[in-house]
Structure 1
């Protein structure tokens, strides 16, 4: 027998220490609910899990971003709803002012309300804000733009563009306006025609007169618009009218492409002053001074209503897209969360079995260590 080295005790102590460490790890996993608490538990698994966590948190934030984007859209759309109501009231007033049973004084009273409505359109445009950003006022002639980050990675944004919605923007279009007024009618010679260049393409509109004749302003506009609408390249793009007794050719398709107008052939003693004239963005002033002005205003207000409707439709499309984006992002985050859980979370039932085993082995090792420590006591019997 030897007493300097108790191999049985050393072996029992080693196993007890190992089981104690294993029991401690099991307790840590059971108390945290995680299979991986440090890189030493599973280096590759930890790396995968952390990348997944980054994606999950990014997707959750992207979902919140999309919700914020919808809030911006709803704020803007609510303001445009009121602009729509104002324009409908302006149209109602225009129809009322078009009736010649109204005196000049009556039309003046209607104009007072018109002025207030016009100012309110500008106020809504300039003061509608979301998070202190002017969403309906743009930057100069540029629309307000916002990028909604809808993904967890770079270059995953949806751009929202909102046009300026003040009075000038709603009632401006590419227009060619004559420099001289037409007092009565337009005298057209046989063969007179008007040339328009739309989107870089030249189109000739012949005046439908077989002989020299004088047309009233209304007849001239009717003939000109009839020819315009008969041409497939012009129909729905431009419209002729008299504004303040001046011949005006306007774009009505919302495009800001320039138009050019040239009148050829004799127009008798009436100079329309439209030779080789290029269009520019010009504001239309709604007024009720006369029957003609009021009826012309109806068309212009209809165009403004259409602009607001188009913008609201676009906002609705943005909102619907973002709602689908939120559903997709939330689903992706949920699936990634499940995958990350399988990598990092502990199986509680299985780990409890491991803990129980290691705990029993630790207690057994303690008992065996006590027994092994008693073995050298036998040497004393030999020394008696």
Structure 2
């Protein structure tokens, strides 16, 4: 009898330990296809970012939970790591997407520490019909990134559609006794700073609104602010975005693309003023996406004071084969004032087209 009671007690304890373990969800996206852009050979690449992720939640009781997220980003066409932008772009990252741990409460919101999604990217992309993916994506410069390191992020509860968020990011080490070469260069150029961001959003019924202000770490105090609005009409949704970027030549510890270019290398800063008008329309077994964009680029300082215009038009269709699998086709055309400004944004011609077809599976 005693042995039986002891065995039952051990089993009960083991069951309690198993119950206390995190509830882990495995998820991911696999996507690839063919892309043809002006000045480039046909290449294979993604539309939606490929990823494999693990998301965990442990119930601590009293409405409180512990959370973690681990997410690897990769290129499906060759299996290599997709590490992101900036001096901390590392091809050998084990988790190039999310990598954080935090706490969540039913009565106060959530806090995450580690590598998190940038608030302005995560929120404003929802007002782009192409979700800032592929050849049809909304244009954005060096002051926008996918994920940010060494960050604490707070997300509020949702009050009838209203919600807000904030982040604080540590910059590179610039202490003279322990800094490396990157920190030394940042300090000497006055480009070292911590990063900050705030977001206020509303999404309830047919109306969605968002506003962001952000400053990347080690960006010479460059900044971005944007506003987004969307309204649903039955099967259609109309979107409007305004974004303004003040780029002072640095982005996450590296010189910006325009700073490294021959055209604008002597400029002190560039200001980008951008509008996007978008349409999403559920049509048949899929969705039609279309957008028109205009960006005004103003470079000032040094010998360069210029005002250039960029226009971009995109249309595409995503055909749902199932709830998880879709095929897509997107076409875009970008009209630059000249080849100099096109080079700053990674293109070779003042008139650049892009065509993309592929398949996406989500699990």
TM range (shorter): under 0.3
Structure with bigger gyration radius: 1
**Structure with the larger RCO, 1 or 2 (CA within 8 Å, 6+ apart):** 1
TM-score between both structures, scaled by the size of structure 2 = 0.24
| More helix per residue | 1
Q: Which has the higher strand share?
A: 2
